Every structure is written in structure tokens, then in C-alpha cells.
Amino acid sequence: MLIAVGYGKGSPGATTLGLGLAAVWPRPDVTLVECDPAGGDLWARFGHHPEPGLSALAASSWEGPIPGFFRQRLSVGADAVLAIPGDGAAASVLTLVDRGLDALRQASTTATVIVDVGRVDIRSPALPLVAAADHVLLLSASPLAQQAQVGARLPWLSNALSGELWLVGVGGHRTAEVSHDLGLPVIGTVPYSRWGAGVLSGQLRIPNWRRLKLARAVRRIAVALCAFEPEPDPRPARMVVWPAAGRGVVPPAPTLAGRWGGG
């Protein structure tokens, strides 16, 4: 599943939510990829080096799951592909979109990939990631101005998307009303929480932080998203082994052209 997390304007907590989702995701194999063209924040917040991260991932060729080499385990227990600060991140996002979008989509068929796309703007280099996502989470705090920023983007955004667009209310007030006004379904709300946000921004270490109200709210969003996709079957595909040749056993002729690698 590919999930994009972004916002219209302001800084309502997209990076915090994206990281929180990766940290409390109910299934294994989840990676947060910082794809905010304005630059990554998590390296500084968690005291990591941003490389190897998004720049290296975008420049490489890969198949299957996002290679562990590019992922860093943050102290909240989430794996993240970190981005450098500043405009250089936009170049990496462009490269990733240009060369790695198929690989990212492929990776999200067997694992969960959460992309933090930052501000959702019609000129954003991250827009193809938003367009390709199965679920797009748009955060909006309650002030009317932020709500209007989401509303103003809806006409072109809804046309660009292939997946589901969701509103995430921040602060909890008037979310149902905002959802009604914008005509956008709500996937959940995140409360204002100094403790929870402190943990998810690397400032606080609280052993049972997953019990904090912010973590519980983020977990509810994660569970709601998982409900859209059946859990992948962890068992390997069954292999049919024909008896060894040369003992009088003739394998049945292939019935589907191309099934056996032939014409």
C-alpha cells in the first residue's frame, strides 16, 4: 500500500503523522520516505545523518522492497528514508519520480510505503507520488484559512489522483463540519499533544509513548487504512514439482502460451 501524507498550507503536522503511522503500523514492513521537496526534517530531529537516504535511493536502481541500505531505524521504532534539508531534496524527489516511481509502486505491493510529500501544490515535484498513492491523507487544522487552502486544491487534486483522498483533522475541533464543507471523508483526527509530538520529533523519550493520546489516534488511522487491504499471505507461493524426467513420466503439455517462458 502506498500512502501519501501532505497538507495544503501551514505546518499542521504531516511529518509527525507520517512518522507516527510508520511507528505504530499494525503490520510489518513499513517504511516512511521523506519526499518533501522543501527538505527533510527527521535527520536533524533524531540526530541522524541524512545519507544514505532519499538522494541515494533516487539515484539507484532497485527492485522489490526498499533496500535496507537506504533506510534508517529511528528511536521511535520506525524505518525511514531520510531526506537532506533544503532545495536539494526537491532534486531527489524529481529524480525519484522520474526513475523510481515504478519501483516505489512495486515495493508498495508487498509492503507499506508512506511518503511525506509536504505541501500539496500543483507545481510540487512530489505530485506524481500523490497521484500514484492508494490513499492520500491531507491534514487540516481547524482555522478557516487552512480549511480554505485544502478546499482550493480539491478541484485539480481530485482529478489527479488514482487513489482515495482523506481528510485528517488536526486539533479535533470542527473536523466533521470541515469534512462536510469540503465534501471530503475523514480517516481520523489527531489531537494536539505536546508529549506525543515531542516523542515524534525526537525531543522526548517516553517509554510507553504508544499509550499517549496522539499515538492512539495515529494507530486508529493506521488500522482504518489497513482495513482497506487484506493482509498479504506470508506463506511462499506453492511450487508444483513434477516427478523427475527419465522415469517414464511425461509432464503435461503447457496450456497457456508463454506460461512456461516459451512462445
Ligand X SMILES: Nc1ncnc2c1ncn2[C@@H]1O[C@H](COP(=O)(O)OP(=O)(O)OP(=O)(O)O)[C@@H](O)[C@H]1O
Count of residues engaged in binding ligand X, rule: CB under 6 A = 17
Q: Does 197 contact ligand X by CB under 6 A? A: yes
CA distance 60 to 212: 38
Nearer to Mg ion, 10 or 172 (CB): 10
Nearer to Mg ion, 15 or 108 (CB): 15
| Backbone φ, ψ for residue 224 (5° rounding) | -65, -40
CA nearest neighbour of 48 among 29, 12, 74:
74
Window contacting ligand X (CB under 6 A); options: 54-62, 126-134, 186-194, 233-241: 186-194
Tell me which residue has its CB nearest to Mg ion: 15
Least spacing, CB of residue 33 vs ligand X, in Å? 14
Q: Which of the listed partners (ligand X, Mg ion, none) does 112 bind, with a CB threshold of 5 to 8 Å by partner kind?
A: none
3-state SS record for the chain: CEEEEEECCCCCCHHHHHHHHHHHCCCCCEEEEECCCCECCHHHHHCCCCCCCHHHHHHCCCCCCCCHHHCEECCCCCEEECCCECCHHHHHHHHHHHHHHHHHHHHHHHCEEEEEEEECCCCCCCHHHHHHCCEEEEEEECCHHHHHHHHHHHHHHHHHCCCEEEEEEECCCCHHHHHHHHCCCEEEEECCCHHHHHHHCCCCCCCCHHHCHHHHHHHHHHHHHHCCCCCCCCCCCCCCCCCCCCCCCCCCCCCCCCCCCCC
Q: Which of the listed partners (Mg ion, ligand X, none) does 27 bind, with a CB threshold of 5 to 8 Å by partner kind?
A: none
When binding is defined by CB under 6 A, the residue of 52, 65, 160, 192 that contacts ligand X is: 192
Window contacting ligand X (CB under 6 A); options: 4-12, 120-128, 160-168, 240-248: 4-12
Q: Does 25 contact ligand X by CB under 6 A? A: no
CA distance 1 to 249: 44
Q: CA geometry: angle at 249 spanning 245 and 251, to 5°?
A: 80
Q: Which of the listed partners (ligand X, Mg ion, none) does 40 bind, with a CB threshold of 5 to 8 Å by partner kind?
A: none
Binding pattern for the stretch 192-231 against Mg ion, x by CB under 5 A and - elsewhere: ----------------------------------------
Q: Does 126 contact ligand X by CB under 6 A? A: no
Q: Does 121 contact ligand X by CB under 6 A? A: no
Window contacting ligand X (CB under 6 A); options: 85-93, 101-109, 180-188, 191-199: 191-199
Q: Does 12 contact ligand X by CB under 6 A? A: yes
Site for Mg ion in 6-35 (CB under 5 A): 14-15
When binding is defined by CB under 6 A, the residue of 4, 14, 90, 126 that contacts ligand X is: 14
Binding site for Mg ion (CB under 5 A): 14-15
Binding site for ligand X (CB under 6 A): 7, 11-16, 36, 41, 118, 190, 192-194, 197, 201, 214
